Structure 1
Amino acid sequence: MSKGVLGTNVVTQVGIIVKNIEHTSQTFADFFGVEKPPANLTDTLDKAQTKYNGSPTEARAKLAFFDMGQIQIELIEPDENPSTWREYLDTHGEGVHHIAFVVKDMKGTVAKLESRNMPLIQKGEYTGGRYAYMDTFGDLKVILELLENDNGGGEGN
């Protein structure tokens, strides 16, 4: 049985852009009755190798992760540098930015999506893997994030 274009149909994560991660994290924690997770800053350009629309960017973001059973909620507070996160916040305001899937062949999956007119927006590295945001908004009404982990599993960026 085919798992479609991505090779999977299992949503791993929902990413939400926020203006104030500390406030929003506390609101989520209170609402779900869980401990507030720490907000961690993404790596610098030299380590993350972040590219946005094909060009290196100093963009960083504060991230907080809520593990909610089978899915992870990622809160993202972008800095002022050019990124898909900053663009989304400036254009749409706070809200759902992406849904993420773990893939086994990042390069191949990116190529498949690009062949469907769903271009790569931003990519980068994180400890243990890499990510790619694909512009699937026109067709799917949400950005897709692809996650490829060096150990074959695990969490997002």
Structure 2
Amino acid sequence: MTNKTQFENGVLGTNVIAQIGILVHDIDTVSQAYADFFGVEKPQWNWTDTVDVAQTEFEGVSSEARSKLAFFDMGSLQLELIEPDQHPSTWRNHLNEHGEGPHHIAFIINGMKDKVTLMESKNMRLVQKGEYTGGRYAYMDTFKDLKIMLELLENDK
């Protein structure tokens, strides 16, 4: 069996990590630290959309949760800094419980509903989901098996 066949048969249909998400208390300070470290321009941060646009759900319930996001494009991988507001979310809970640091690794997938259903059948439950301009996301609780949260990103065609 070739590697390509193995990955096509995997749960996600890909093995390419697209993004690493890091939770922070102060996005301006941490963005500047990364910019200085990598010798790149500090990216501007943006708020996630409001609940009416993002349709954010946390633990199956609509949530006003928003975050400031800043992105560093690092070749084939994107580094995402996340500073959550105080509303209930996976970001806020994780930051409160574990402090600053890694929150998730993300994969670009096709067929969000099918992937979520498949992962839930493997006891990897949906924690939070929402929409963004051009697509949708879902955070899956994969800590038991994979020791980190996975984010699924599906971009509109």
Q: Into which bin does the TM-score normalised by the smaller protein fall?
A: over 0.9
For residue 6 of structure 2, the aligned residue among 2, 14, 23 is 2
User: Helix, strand or coil for the counterpart of 2:33?
Assistant: helix
Give the match for residue 47 of structure 1: 53
Q: Any idea what the Cα deviations from partners look like across 1:57-108, whole Å, max 9, x if unmatched?
A: 0000000000000100000000000000000000000010000000011001
Q: Any idea what the Cα deviations from partners look like across 1:28-55, whole Å, max 9, x if unmatched?
A: 0000000000000000000000000000
Matches of 1:41 and 1:70, distance apart in 2: 24
Q: Any idea what the Cα deviations from partners look like across 1:122-151, whole Å, max 9, x if unmatched?
A: 000000000000000111010000000002
- Aligned pairs for 1:57-136 within 5 A: 57-136=63-142
Deviation (angstroms), 1:9: 0.4
Which residue identity is paired with 1:119?
Answer: R
Q: Structure 2: state its 5+ residue gaps.
A: none
Give the match for residue 14 of structure 1: 20
1 or 2, which has the higher helix percentage?
Answer: 2
User: Helix, strand or coil for the counterpart of 1:139?
Assistant: helix
Q: Which runs of 4+ in 1 moved over 6 A?
A: none
Matches of 1:138 and 1:61, distance apart in 2: 26
Which residue identity is paired with 1:55?
Answer: V
Aligned residues: 151
TM-score, length-scaled by structure 1: 0.95
Are 1:24 and 2:34 an aligned pair? no
Which residue identity is paired with 1:123?
Answer: K
Matches of 1:65 and 1:142, distance apart in 2: 20
TM-score, length-scaled by structure 2: 0.95
Matches of 1:25 and 1:94, distance apart in 2: 13
Which residue identity is paired with 2:92?
Answer: R
Which residue identity is paired with 1:127?
Answer: T
Matches of 2:108 and 2:143, distance apart in 1: 19
Matches of 1:29 and 1:125, distance apart in 2: 28
